[in-house]
Amino acid sequence: MIGGNFEDGAQGWRLGRRAPLAIDVADSGNPGEVVVRLDGPLDLTTHSQLRRAFYDDDQVAAARAVVVDLTAVPFIDSAGIGALATGRKVVGARNGSLALVATDGPVRRLLRVTAMDQALPVFATLDEATAPS
- % residues pLDDT > 90 (the chain): 83
CATH architecture group of domain 4-126: 2-Layer Sandwich (3.30)
* Closest of 44, 43, 75, 54 to residue 2, by C-alpha: 54
Which pLDDT score is estimated for 121?
A: 97
Instruction: Give residue-wise pLDDT tens across range 70-127.
Output: 999 999 999 999 999 999 999 999 999 999 999 999 999 999 999 999 999 999 999 9
Exposure b/e, 45-70, CB count within 10 A at least 16 = b? bbbebbbbbbeebebbbebebbbbbb
Q: Which amino acid is at 48?
A: S
Task: Tell me what the pLDDT averaged over the chain comes to.
Answer: 88
| Domain ranges, ordered by start, for the chain | 4-126
Q: In which element (H, E) is residue 92 found?
A: helix 78-93
Instruction: Give residue-wise pLDDT tens across range 6-61.
Output: 343 333 334 455 568 999 999 999 999 999 999 999 999 999 999 999 999 999 99
Q: Please tell me the number of Cα atoms within 13 Å of 128 on its side-chain side.
A: 11
Q: What is the pTM (predicted TM-score) of this model?
A: 0.86
CA pair distance 60, 44, nearest whole angstrom: 22
* Per-residue pLDDT at 62 exceeds 80: yes
